[in-house]
Amino acid sequence: MSALPRHIRGVLFDKDGTLVDFDRTWAGTMKAGAAAFVGDDAAAAVRLCEAVGWNEKAGTFAADAFFANNPNAAIARRWRELLGQTFVPSDAALIDTTFARAILANVTALGDLKGTVGRLAGRGIALGVATNDSRASALEQLDALGVAHAFVFVTGYDGPSAPKPDPGAVRDFAAATGIPAEAIAVVGDSENDMKLARAGGAFAVAVARDPVHRAALAALADIAVARIEDL
């Protein structure tokens, strides 16, 4: 099977790496965040970026990048530790603000996002997003990509659901739509997304263009596809 089974009535998408091109969207955004911590020290900024999974030479993130799988506060904490400095709560606000300002200039859809979302919604499938980005930033990005109207539920690390892989996002999406968990598919490109699906009692769909990454996730999923268009 390489498409959604007929009993699925709701799809809860991950955002980064699933709906949004992670490398193209987050490289410049991450570098802006690092600069907020180290100013004009370009070498230090690169070290911070590489410490959270960025490969400067290749220009890509590692498949299991810390940056991709943790909320902004955890990234800020890791950067302060690397700099030998003490993390303070205002660091989380600094990184939130910097990322939110930079990302709208960088956000890039993966594939035919508008067409895929439109076709799913047109078939009566309820759509949601569960991301470890902030909810406000996620909404702004979906709006910038012209698809925000299609999503009836969006949650981030800051709520309304607990961050992934806690199953709260599946539970809350089910409550918002009236669709039982077993009729919901969680679609994502990370182990966290597959754990969310399993813990929440939902159908797990792994999506990854890289065949090696896709094969690794397939072991944790009900089906694995290369692109969301394949759904």
pLDDT tens sequence across 135-159: 999 999 999 999 999 999 999 989 9
Q: What is the mean pLDDT of the chain?
A: 94
pLDDT at 121 over 90: yes
Q: What is the pLDDT confidence band of residue 45, given thresholds at 50, 70 and 90?
A: very high
In whole angstroms, what is the distance from residue 76 CA to residue 89 CA? 9
Domain with CATH 3.40.50.1000 in the chain: 10-20+109-230
Question: DSSP strand E in 14-134: where?
Answer: 54-55, 60-61, 126-130
- 126 — phi, psi (to 5°)? -75, 140
* 51 alpha carbon, distance to own chain's centre: 19
β pairing state of 54-55 and 60-61: antiparallel
**More reliable by pLDDT, 182 or 157:** 182
pLDDT of 75 higher than 90:
yes
Residues 229, 196 contacting (CB under 8 angstroms): no
| Across 158-173, average pLDDT | 94
**Tell me, what's the pLDDT at 84?**
96
**Sign of the torsion formed by the C-alpha atoms of 156, 128, 31 and 59:** positive
Average pLDDT over residues 196-220: 94
State percent of the chain over pLDDT 70.
99
Structural domain 10-20+109-230, CATH architecture: 3-Layer(aba) Sandwich (3.40)
Tokens of 177: 């739509």
Q: What is the predicted pLDDT for the residue at 144?
A: 95
Mean per-residue pLDDT for 51-77? 91
